[in-house]
Amino acid sequence: MATIGVLALQGAVREHIRSIEACGAQAVEIKRTEQLDTIDGLILPGGESTTMRRLIDSYGFFDAIREFGEKGKPIFGTCAGLILMANEIENQDQAHLGLMDMKVARNAFGRQVASFEAELNIANVAEDFNAVFIRAPYIVETGSDVHVLAKYNERIVAAQQGHYICTAFHPELTDDNRFIAYFVAMVEQSIQTLAS
């Protein structure tokens, strides 16, 4: 069985734990870097990316998460987690983890419509996915290795680059576990690949 960690420094942790378990995988809250050795995949949850980055630095997670990814282990970033994974952030000098070749815009749907839901067609996942957006970012540009999985109003809101995947919306906030199940399948696949 795949064991999936959720970075538990800040943000929507418990909802991801519930979704992972609903998909039949084991879920662990990750609070110390040593715990990364015990998991097969990692979720960077939604929350507030600047705060999360500060906590990542103070708990020594910056290099640890990058090394985890360099081993080929899957990482999934939702919302603030997507911002953390990008290698470029609009109107900001510095990016964070820089795991994915993409430029993102924060709070991109405007402060007036801070939160909304939309039905999305997500490649490989579902044609009718009810996506919950909360002060969401979107992906402005992607590099050639990045595969766009979903768009909303012509804006990219889900993408994958090899074993890295991200969504601007929160798939953990509804009972529709198909997106999390897709990530769990990626993790199970990587366990096979990394063992052979």
Residues marked active site are found at 79, 170, 172
Q: Which of 41, 47, 69, 77 binds ligand GLN (CB under 6 A)?
A: 47
- Is residue 115 annotated as involved in ligand binding? no
Sign of CA dihedral 175, 179, 181, 184: negative
Among 28, 134, 148, 185, binds ligand GLN (CB under 6 A): 134
The minimum distance between CB 134 and ligand GLN, in angstroms, equals: 4
CA distances from 77 to 73, 112, 196 (A): 13, 24, 27
67-96 positions binding ligand GLN, by CB under 6 A? 79-80, 83
Residue placing its CB nearer to ligand GLN in the complex, 134 or 148: 134
- Contact 8/31 with Cβ under 8 angstroms? yes
User: Which lies closer to ligand GLN via its Cβ, residue 109 or residue 164?
Assistant: 109
As to burial, measured by CB atoms within 10 angstroms (0-12 exposed, 13-18 middle, 19+ buried), residue 112 is exposed
Q: Which helix (H) or strand (E) holds 146?
A: none
Give least dist CB 47 to ligand GLN, A.
5
Separation between Cα atoms, residue 169 and residue 180, nearest integer Å: 12
Residues that bind ligand GLN (CB under 6 A): 46-49, 79-80, 83, 106-107, 134-135
